[in-house]
Amino acid sequence: MTRTPDTRTPPGPSPVQVRLMGDDAAVRRLVAALQTTGACGPASYRAMRGSDGTRAYLDIVVPPHPSA
């Protein structure tokens, strides 16, 4: 009997697209904090409707769960 090697790989980090909305300074501070972890890419910023805040769009890498 020939055994076929298991070619499945454990799940790796998964990028998640995120949109943050809120006060401009708070959104930018949170994005900066996330970027210092190295777990997210650059963000693009746009004014919220009514210009009462900022929207930030970025990808965050979610590591696999330890039990996976």
In this predicted structure, the answer to whether residue 49 has a pLDDT above a threshold of 70 is yes
User: At 19, is the pLDDT very low, low, confident or very high (cuts 50, 70, 90)?
Assistant: very high
Alpha-carbon distance of 14 to 63, in angstroms, equals 6
- Cβ-contact 29, 56 below 8 angstroms: no
User: At 57, is the pLDDT very low, low, confident or very high (cuts 50, 70, 90)?
Assistant: very high
Taking only the tens place, the pLDDT of each residue in 20-35 is 999 999 999 999 998 8
